[in-house]
Amino acid sequence: MTEPACLQATIHGLVQGVFFRAFVARWAGELGLSGYVRNLPDGVVEVRAEGKRQDLEKLVGYLKMGPSAARVDEVVTTWSEYTGNYRGFSIRH
């Protein structure tokens, strides 16, 4: 379970304007993941992250919780092969 992987996740609910992106960036950094988090125009937050599969699965757990002001209704995940395209983890605007 330590092989590298790529996670794409969309988080639905009350997830914009509640510091969700900062929350994700903090946990991704602590887990040593690379990628980005951004708000989408339809009110959804998108995460693309790469790293060890077990660390990505931990991140999914945090996505399901969200920060205290958020209300997460659904997290949709898609897994793919590691690309190595990202350096560090960023918040995109």
Q: What is the pLDDT of residue 93?
A: 86
What are the φ and ψ backbone dihedral angles of 83, each rounded to 5 degrees? -110, -30
**pTM for this entry:** 0.96
Asked if residue 33 is part of any domain, the answer here is yes
User: Which residues 6+ apart lie within 8 Å of 27 measured at CB?
Assistant: 58, 59, 62
Instruction: Give me the CATH number covering residue 57.
Output: 3.30.70.100
Asked if residue 85 is part of any domain, the answer here is no
For residue 41, the enclosing domain spans: 4-80
Distance CA 1, CA 57 (A): 10
Catalytic site residues?
A: 21, 39
Asked if residue 87 is part of any domain, the answer here is no
8 Å CB contact between 11 and 66:
yes
Q: What is the pLDDT of residue 1?
A: 56
For residue 54, give both structure tokens: 């077990």
Asked if residue 62 is part of any domain, the answer here is yes
User: Which residues 6+ apart lie within 8 Å of 85 measured at CB?
Assistant: 50
Q: What is the pLDDT of residue 56?
A: 98
Asked if residue 52 is part of any domain, the answer here is yes
What is the number of domains present in the chain?
Answer: 1
Q: List per-residue pLDDT tens for the chain, 93 residues long.
A: 579 999 999 999 999 999 999 999 999 999 999 999 999 999 999 999 999 999 999 999 999 999 999 999 999 999 999 999 999 999 998
